[in-house]
Chains A and B, each alone.
Chain A
Amino acid sequence: MLELRNVTKRYGDVTALDGVSLSVEAGETLGLVGTNGAGKTSLFRLLVGHELPDSGTVSVAGIDPTDGTRVRERVGYLPEQANFEPSLTAREVLRFHARMRGVSDADRPRRIARVLETVGLREDADRRVGGFSNGMTRRLGLATTLLASPQVLLLDEPTAGLDPQGVAAFNDVIERVRAETDVTVVVTTHVLSEVERLCDRVAIIDGGEIQTVGTLAEVRAIAGDRVTVTLTFDADADAAAVGSQFETDPSVTTTVHGSRVEATCHRDAVFDVLGRLADTDPATVEVSEPGLEGAFQRVLHEGTAEMAGDAT
């Protein structure tokens, strides 16, 4: 459905994308994760034909995106900064986008009603967009991309700047769209929990290069199998006592920050560690696996070459 082969894109002396190769199958949801300036938006701009690659090939739904505007007929693209004229109502915005996307006059009202329902804005359809919250505006943006039943959805940091409720509402809509259609979705985000919730696969991009790509389980495995047990106490002395308890154990790494102590150990040893803490009286106990966050941090700090063996 979507394929980049050895794509390079430069802006002057800056290499935004460096030999990127990536493919996404039909119906799949790919999370594209990277720091600011990693190349995510540049990649999207190539996919929708806003930029030409300096080298390599790009194909979306079998179309070369640089071939006029044809690719945007089949792609729903929600740019990061997409906004709408505050003086227009949501229905007017959708009517305009439907017309621009070639939805016939007769079919327009039905389509608009359906996407309003899908994104949960039916009750607000005739309100001016200027009165919308950020979350509602983002859902309206998603509605504009769904009007012509696209084959591919490209969502560039769709939940950036939203409050937790807005993020949850937006992700609910994405899940609904995924369940109801066979649309292929590529979503960029900094929020790794979103990737865990929405995506089949994840690609980590850094410095214009795809550092790793795989299923969630494959990428999580990059982080290794270390588990962190975090305890907080009412008194700093209690935390220090726990820290010293593990000082002589090379299989457990402890760090004490005031009244908080972190003990990191192998996944298999976590119950043993918890058992040794049974006599303590912590205020809170938290056990966390590194997951995607750990994998992301490791990819950024260590690069792919060192991890190649670990990831498989």
Chain B
Amino acid sequence: MTDADRSAEPDGGVTVSAAETASQDGTGRALLASRVGAIAWREFRVVTRTRWTGGIAVLFGLFSLAIVGLAGSQVGTTRVGSLFVTLAELSVYLVPMAALAVGYDAVVGPAERGTLDALFALPVPRSAVLVGTYLGRALALASGLVVGLAAGGVLFAAKHGPGVVGPYLQYTLATVGVALAFLAVSVCLSTVVSEKARALGGALLAWVWFVFVHDLFALGLVVAVQPPAAVSTLLVALNPADLLRVAVLAMVPTGGGGVGALIASTSLSLAVVAVALCAWIVAPVGLAAWLIGRRY
């Protein structure tokens, strides 16, 4: 260790530089991962203290309890299946909205408040600040969703037996995956724009596109052109909300028309859904991490 790495303190202590700490810990990569973790934990605390997590837990708790509790008492495969479809159909509206709301000010909000400047002054790349911010918000969002949906899950299992636990967990997992994909989209939007109001507008437009317009566009294309199955599959994979429908339909095959028929016509397996959701997370976060170094 050189003199430059150590510096005497007024109280007689010795400062060990972070570079030295890195070598003691093993590698610089481990140090970077630790710092990303610290940013994520800080972000999680900030988001949970603004009551987003609690609000989402309450919203999805009431939502799942209402559907499971009020959806009749008939027991059987059909009833359980229709419950899952109902949960999924409503989740398609609520989950993107919740995720976009949690993420739209992830970057532009701190930039406006001046807290981003304080983070950029730290010895960590700006891309790592972005990734840590995403991870912290993802943890807060997922926690709220899981806690909320768990309430409905408990009632579901009480009414229909332990056999529904597995599919309900799969539904919950798919819901969280879709939420994280929409969160990634909103964090990317938050990096692109320069004002919080624009980020909110962008998030609303994204919600309208993915929840309403994309499916109309896809259906119109299918009816007009009758493209090959691969194109239909791609159209579904290009909308994270539809991936949630695919995950639920895989549990409870149902008939029907419209988007359900389009989804049923695709060959998307759960593994492909998982890969597509991962891509929906990695691509926007990667783009945002690249952009943040250039914008700020």
Contact = CB atoms under 8 A, between A and B. Distances in A.
Whether both chains belong to one complex is answered with yes
A100 B115 contact: no
A16 interface: no
Contact of A100 (B17, B38, B46, B117): B38
A96 B38 contact: yes
Contacts of B118: 79, 82-84, 141, 144
B258 to A, nearest CB: 44
A102 B17 CA distance: 7
Contact of B121 (A68, A77, A99): A77
A71 to B, nearest CB: 8
B123 A73 contact: yes
A65 B17 CA distance: 16
Contact of B125 (A69, A107, A114, A180): A69
Interface in A106-151: 107, 110, 114, 141, 144-145, 148-149, 151
A70 interface: yes
Contacts of A101: 18, 122-123
Given A87-B49, A148-B15, A82 B22 contact: no
B121 A79 contact: yes
Given A82-B114, A149-B7, A180-B10, A72 B121 contact: yes
B231 interface: no
A288 interface: no
Contacts of B120: 50, 79
Main secondary structure on B side of the interface with A: helix
A104 B46 contact: no
Interface in B1-33: 4, 7, 9-11, 13, 15-19, 21-22, 31
Interface in B88-147: 110, 113-115, 117-118, 120-125
Given A61-B4, A100-B123, A101-B122, A83 B45 contact: no
Contacts of B121: 48, 72, 77-79, 82, 144-145
A69 B18 CA distance: 11
Given A72-B121, A72-B123, A101-B123, A83 B113 contact: yes
A28 interface: no
Nearest to A180: B10
A238 B30 CA distance: 77
Nearest to B11: A114
Interface string A83-94: 111011000100
Nearest to A45: B120
A81 interface: yes
A38 to B, nearest CB: 19
A94 B16 CA distance: 18
Contact of A73 (B19, B46, B49): B19
Contact of B117 (A83, A114, A180): A83
Give the bracket for the number of chain A residues in contact with chain B: 35 or more
B159 interface: no
Given A82-B114, A87-B46, A96-B38, A102 B22 contact: yes
Main secondary structure on A side of the interface with B: loop
A74 interface: yes
Interface string B33-52: 01100110010011001100
Interface in B215-234: none
A100 B45 contact: no
Nearest to A97: B122
Given A70-B123, A79-B120, A88 B21 contact: no
Nearest to A151: B7
Contacts of A69: 123-125
Contacts of B117: 79-83
Given A72-B123, A74-B17, A100-B123, A62 B4 contact: yes
- Residue from the set A73, A96, A100, A110 with the largest chain B CB neighbour count within 10 Å: A100
Contacts of A92: 42, 45
- Residue from the set A69, A70, A83, A145 with the largest chain B CB neighbour count within 10 Å: A69
Interface in B168-204: none
Contacts of B15: 148-149
A35 interface: no
Interface string A10-27: 000000000000000000
B35 A100 contact: yes
Contacts of B115: 82-85
A181 interface: yes
A101 B115 CA distance: 17
A80 B115 CA distance: 11
Nearest to A98: B38
B46 A85 contact: yes
Interface in B46-102: 46, 49-50
Contacts of B34: 99
Given A99-B34, A101-B122, 7 more contacts: A82-B114, A83-B115, A83-B117, A92-B45, A99-B38, A102-B18, A102-B21
Interface of B: 4, 7, 9-11, 13, 15-19, 21-22, 31, 34-35, 38-39, 42, 45-46, 49-50, 110, 113-115, 117-118, 120-125
15 contacts: A69-B124, A70-B19, A78-B121, A81-B114, A82-B118, A83-B117, A87-B49, A87-B50, A88-B42, A88-B45, A97-B122, A100-B123, A102-B22, A144-B118, A151-B4
Interface of A: 48, 50, 61-62, 68-70, 72-74, 77-85, 87-88, 92, 96-97, 99-102, 104, 107, 110, 114, 141, 144-145, 148-149, 151, 180-181
